[in-house]
Amino acid sequence: MNRRPWILGFVAFLVFVFLYAPIAWLAIASFNSSRSLSRISGVSTQWYVELFDDSRVLESLRLTLQLALASAVISTVIGTLAAFGLRRAFPGRGLWTVLLSLPLVVPEVVMGVAMLGFFVKIAGIPLGFGALLFAHVAFSLSFVVVVVRSRVSGMDVRMEEAAADLGASPFVAFRTVTLPLVAPAVVAGAAFAFLLSFDDVVISSYLTGVGSTTLPVFVYAQASKRGISPEIVALSTLMVTATAVLLVIGVMVASWRARKAGSAAQLV
Amino acid sequence: MSRRWLKANALLTPTGLWLGIFLIAPLALVVQFSFATRDTGVARAVLPWTTQAYLTALDPAFLPIFGRTLVYAVVTTVACLLLGFPLAWFIARHGGKYRTVLLAAVLIPFWSSYLARIYAWKALLDGEGLVNTMLGWVGLGRDGGFLLTHGAVILGLTYGFLPFMVLPLYVACERFDFRLVEASYDLGHGRASTFFRVVLPGVMTGVLAGSLLVLVPSAGDFVTPKLLGGVDQSTFGSVIDDQFRGGNNWPLGSAMAVLLLVLVVLVLVLRGRRGEDVL
């Protein structure tokens, strides 16, 4: 299978086409002059204009961003701690692993109805931002732990030992050696958590309160009545474009820094 | 209790508390609900304890839905494996310095709204959509397009869960020592034999972790079947959703949720300890 990598490359290319086909179609349809998503009848930018005039969409976008940011920060902090907790073997680690794999495998609809019942009937947590935050952290945490743990467990303990031997205090060793080593995984985990919260429909749809509708729930409710609005198509196009631009900048900065730091950075 | 034990548990406590309060307690409540009696007036679950909800949930009327859900989930998982493996292998083996970029490129489409993407598929699969039009040129068009078919639902599920397959597969492929493939060829093994006896066992952890991450959520999803399918494509997830939102039968919905949980536990038990380090 390595003798003819171009066959494999072609298959990989087709999978990329599959992944990008609907995105590309959204981008085209966002400039459509009619409301239809399937038939392109002309070119216009009116949906972008209407998007920035629609206060309901902008308001729920703001709420969704705040929620995703708060959820990502909390789950990244406590999830990273947990990943370090699982670093070395200890009695009961298997049990923790099982607990942490639960949110990955319990179907969303089950989590959603369970949280709805618990928040409303037992805990007395009003539906809305607080309930959404508790839930989003609960289902994002495990993803952060998985991502950070893979990096932590692959880390060379001798690096930290060397720092200690050279006289670094545990705090200094952590800040100057351990943290830079796990930083990429922490950032990846945070991005993952942000994305999970930002795009969640199912669980959020059970927990939104009056006046605290997240964007996906708003879109879902609106779409089931009269189809998806072209404004949302325009917004999605903007979001993917922004992500792609950020990614390109990130790669450029990383390669620039790697070149600057020389071959030492390659070792990490 | 050693110092190491204390330190590990101290680091894990915040996560444990959060999951205990906001996930385990709610799931326990669902189990309790599932044995309660339905109180139609206020749609609440009340005493006395009964197994009525389970008897209703296992009613033959729901069996086709349960079976269909399982078929969707299994076919989706296989489709994700078939698409995800070549991609993950290619990025890990031939990606070179672009590996990170290529992996990120897999994830970029998922930064747009999930619903927008599903609606994009809906538009593409529509009777007058691009897919049907293009198939029409080669004589494979279908009157009314491909919406409301099992194929449309499976396509939507595969699209939605593919990254969950690609990521663990990529991790496994990256750890794989590609020299083993050359060694296998040198020792006279053919392509198929090399794949099944060298490559597949080597990346098995990723295959298992990815399959788990695709199989379970796709068994519980109801948004995709609702949007791309019709009445004949409704799944167990959508029936549960109906009990809580519209049907107002919380005990029945809870019993069904518990059955879905039992399925999850079964899959976990079957998997055993394999692939634990990836997931």
Least confident of A131-140, B51-60, B270-279: B270-279
Of A25, A135, A220, the CB nearest to B120: A25
| Cβ–Cβ gap B113/A78 under 8 Å | no
| Cβ–Cβ gap A20/B109 under 8 Å | yes
| Cβ–Cβ gap A1/B222 under 8 Å | no
The distance of B38 to chain A (nearest Cα, Å) reads 14
- In a mutational test of the A interface, the residue from B4, B110, B113 whose CB has the highest number of chain A CBs within 10 Å is B113
Region B59-84: mean pLDDT is 92
Tokens 């670094």 identify what position? A168
The distance of B228 to chain A (nearest Cα, Å) reads 12
Of A29, A113, A228, the CB nearest to B244: A113
Q: What is the pLDDT of residues A26-70, one digit of tens each?
A: 888 889 888 777 777 888 888 898 888 888 888 999 999 999 999
Q: What is the pLDDT at residue A175?
A: 83
- Which chain B residues contact residue A263 at CB under 8 A? none
Q: Does position A71 have pLDDT exceeding 90, yes or no?
A: yes
- With vertex at residue B257, the alpha carbon angle to CA B211 and CA B38, rounded to the nearest 5 degrees, is 175
Provide the residue range defining the domain that includes A111.
55-230
Q: What is the pLDDT of residues B22-52, one digit of tens each?
A: 999 999 999 988 888 776 544 455 667 788 8
Q: Does position B57 have pLDDT exceeding 90, yes or no?
A: no
Q: What is the pLDDT at residue B76?
A: 96
Residue A130 to residue A116: CA distance in whole angstroms? 13
Q: How confident is the model at residue B1 (pLDDT cuts 50, 70, 90)?
A: low
| Cβ–Cβ gap A244/B108 under 8 Å | yes
* Amino acid, single-letter form, for residue B87: L
Indicate whether A243 belongs to any domain: no
Of B86, B94, B257, the CB nearest to A15: B86
Residue A111 to residue A109: CA distance in whole angstroms? 5
Read off the CATH number of the domain in which A68 is found.
Answer: 1.10.3720.10
Residue A87 near residue A97, CB atoms below 8 Å: no
- Which chain A residues contact residue B240 at CB under 8 A? 109-110, 113
- Which chain B residues contact residue A240 at CB under 8 A? 108-109, 111-112
| Cβ–Cβ gap A19/B12 under 8 Å | no
Q: What is the pLDDT of residues B200-249, one digit of tens each?
A: 888 888 898 889 889 888 888 888 888 888 777 888 888 888 888 876 78
Q: What is the pLDDT at residue B27?
A: 94
Indicate whether A250 belongs to any domain: no
Number of structural domains found in chain A: 1
Region A56-85: mean pLDDT is 94
Q: What is the pLDDT at residue B167?
A: 87
More confident residue, B130 or B72: B72
If you write DSSP's letter for every residue of A14-80 in order, what string do you get? HHHHHHHHHHHHHHHHTTBSSS-SS----B--HHHHHHHH-HHHHHHHHHHHHHHHHHHHHHHHHHH
Region B46-73: mean pLDDT is 85
Of A16, A82, A216, the CB nearest to B12: A82
Q: What is the pLDDT at residue A4?
A: 65
Residue B258 to residue B213: CA distance in whole angstroms? 19
Q: What is the pLDDT at residue A268?
A: 41
Number of structural domains found in chain B: 1
CB-based contacts of B87: which residues, under 8 Å, 6+ apart?
A11, A12, A15, A16, B106, B166
Average of per-residue pLDDT values in chain A: 85
Indicate whether A219 belongs to any domain: yes
Indicate whether B161 belongs to any domain: yes
Indicate whether B154 belongs to any domain: yes
Indicate whether A88 belongs to any domain: yes
Indicate whether A32 belongs to any domain: no
Q: What is the pLDDT at residue A1?
A: 46
Calculate what percentage of chain B has a pLDDT beyond 90: 21
- Which chain A residues contact residue B89 at CB under 8 A? 1, 8
Alpha helices in A106-214 (DSSP H): 108-117, 129-153, 157-165, 170-173, 179-198, 202-207
Indicate whether B214 belongs to any domain: yes
More confident residue, B148 or A117: A117
CA-based nearest residue in chain A for residue B236: A109
Q: What is the pLDDT at residue B83?
A: 95
Alpha helices in chain B (DSSP H): 3-19, 25-34, 52-57, 63-94, 99-107, 114-125, 130-137, 150-175, 179-186, 191-194, 200-202, 204-220, 223-228, 236-245, 250-271
- Which chain A residues contact residue B27 at CB under 8 A? 106, 110-111, 114
Q: What is the pLDDT at residue A34?
A: 82
Tokens of B156: 């939507």
Residue A257 to residue B120: CA distance in whole angstroms? 39
Provide the residue range defining the domain that includes B228.
63-271
Tokens 């995984």 identify what position? A185
Least confident of A159-168, B90-99, B244-253: B244-253
Indicate whether B276 belongs to any domain: no
